[in-house]
Amino acid sequence: MRCNSLQLLILLALLSFFTSCEKAPNKGGGAIKGSCKISAVTGYYLSPISISYDSAGRINKMAASSMSRTYAYDNGGNMVTITSIKNNSFDRRIVLKYNKDSKLLDTAMITLKDGTQETRIYTYQSNATVKENIYSGNDSNSITYSWTGGNMTSAHSTRGINAFTNVKYYTDMAFQEGDFNYMNALIENGYVPVGKTANLVQCNYSGNISYKFNSNGYIKQVSSVNEGYPTVTYTYEYTCK
């Protein structure tokens, strides 16, 4: 687990080195209509991915052709157990514990298929800083997330890596769960550890990001374009109340 996490951070840092942000045209969807949740994602390497929810609007299952995740909620929703299956075999289990008062994530306990365990502890140092301490066996690491104007602008590791170099946000587009960064984290990890941003990401390690919206104002497609790399496009379907 720790090797995968480190490799991902290195990849993000390297990609961000070659990325520059260009101002994309504003294609905001306007006012949101109705109450809708993303029910399917295509374009990700595991796609198509289906997402279902319980009566409280919480994810209870995420499934693709070779992967499934189930979500169980206990202690009034303050503890979430995420069990992942890949290729019909146990892959990992993540137990998330949230502070019952603030509802912010306190710990993530991760158990991999080989029995390796990792603990992630979150400390909220201010409204603009979150520290993630990661322990796996005798190895440890720490990542400090910094926020400006409600948007994450830095994720600096004690190993000297900042995966958020050159990240920018659309100041005139409010956050939705179809945000490129948010959806990547949700599909990759099963949860998003440090929450939502105020605005949609415009540019990050993977390139310049643009959005298209449906008639209800929800993101129907997001694309990341980085010169020299294939364009990454996600298309969303929704279930609405």
- Distance between CA 121 and CA 126 in Å, rounded? 16
Q: What is the pLDDT of residues 86-128, one digit of tens each?
A: 999 999 999 999 998 888 999 999 999 999 999 999 999 877 8
Domain boundaries along the sequence of the chain: 2-240
Q: Reply yes or no on whether the pLDDT at 39 is more than 60.
A: yes
For residue 11, give the nearest of 165, 180, 130, 234 by alpha carbon: 165
- For residues 67 and 88, the answer to whether their CB atoms sit within 8 Å is no
Output 114 or 164, whichever has higher pLDDT.
Answer: 114
Q: Cα–Cα distances in Å, from 231 out to 8, 40, 159, 212, 227?
A: 19, 20, 30, 15, 9
Q: Reply yes or no on whether the pLDDT at 27 is more than 60.
A: no
**Architecture of the structural domain at 2-240:** Beta Barrel (2.40)
Give CA angle at 159 (1, 165), nearest 5°: 100
